[in-house]
Amino acid sequence: MRKLIISRVLQAVPTLWVIATLTFFMTRYAPGGPFDSERAIPEEIKIKLQSHFGLDRPLFDQYLLYLKNLLQGDLGPSFKYPEWEVSELIATAFPVSLTLGLLSLLIALMVGIPAGMIAALRKNSWVDYLPMSLSMAGICLPTFVLGPLLIYALSTQLGMFPPLGWYGPADWVLPSLTLGLFYAAYIARLTRAGMLETLQQDYVRTARAKGAKSWRILTKHAARGGLLPVVTFLGPAFAGLITGSFVIESIFFIPGLGKFFVTAAFNRDYTMVLGTVLFYASLIILLNLLVDLLQAWLDPKARQEK
């Protein structure tokens, strides 16, 4: 177990370096720059700005300087919000996205897993067809449709929750529901498929031959194997959830991390792009490690192999 963690952390270093390098050069070679805008700024100011941020130095020198700062944990200043450091921007926005992501994940799991299990247990009955059709609809329905629908129903009509903003727990409900139900749809389908597969296994028949009740068969014998595909999906899904969603943030006016991914790229905010990409990559690496640990905990065979 410890060996796995150490080797993963060591593997992460070259991975992050490759990502940083690729992102650095790709953004630099993309047309335009951080100080190009529709209203052209005077040439001498632009030159001054560029020299202030070190953009006038040779590209490779800039790259080495960036790596050097990165090693010291310095992501540099934002080009677009000059009074902010990139790390400060991430630090303010991330807690918002983390709250939203965790709540959504909770909803997704609490809705998706039971729905998938029931559907698998009562295959080809209405408790299978109904949640599965709903989940198909959930997958097909983009969040920018589901969001406004929920706002209309629960906020405008019933007045239960505020339609937008991010001030208190009441504001958390609608966005987490929108995002959570979308993921719940995926999880329900994965759970159903995984459980169906497991319920056909010979060892489940053995459990029946022992006289186990359906509930015991489900929880003691089938759940572990059946949920393995869900666990695999959770890693990347969770990373996506807690780094924020541009669409959800735009609909509900939430000051989360998601918008930086989009605006930074548009603005050619080089340091911000690099900062968000590296932050996201580190999260993915970390969460995949967690998923592997979780899998090892669920599956004794995987435990031994690792």
Residues that bind another protein (CB under 8 A): 201-203, 205-213, 216, 220-221, 224-225, 298-301, 304-305
Task: Supply the minimum distance, in Å, between the C-beta of residue 238 and another protein.
Answer: 23
Nearer residue to another protein within complex by CB, 225 or 235: 225
1 with 290: CB under 8 angstroms?
Answer: no
Nearer residue to another protein within complex by CB, 68 or 303: 303
Cα torsion for 68, 73, 78, 83, to the nearest 10°? -120
Task: Supply the minimum distance, in Å, between the C-beta of residue 83 and another protein.
Answer: 55
Task: Supply the minimum distance, in Å, between the C-beta of residue 199 and another protein.
Answer: 10
Both tokens of 165, joined, read 């903003």
Nearer residue to another protein within complex by CB, 133 or 206: 206
Between the alpha carbon of residue 111 and those of residues 20, 186, 227, the distances in Å are 38, 11, 14
Closest CA to 243 of 262, 258, 229, 223: 258
Nearer residue to another protein within complex by CB, 48 or 220: 220
Nearer residue to another protein within complex by CB, 57 or 216: 216
Task: Supply the minimum distance, in Å, between the C-beta of residue 178 and another protein.
Answer: 35
Task: Supply the minimum distance, in Å, between the C-beta of residue 304 and another protein.
Answer: 7
Spatial separation of the C-alpha atoms in residues 120 and 127, rounded to whole Å:
9
160 with 154: CB under 8 angstroms?
Answer: yes
Length of the chain: 306
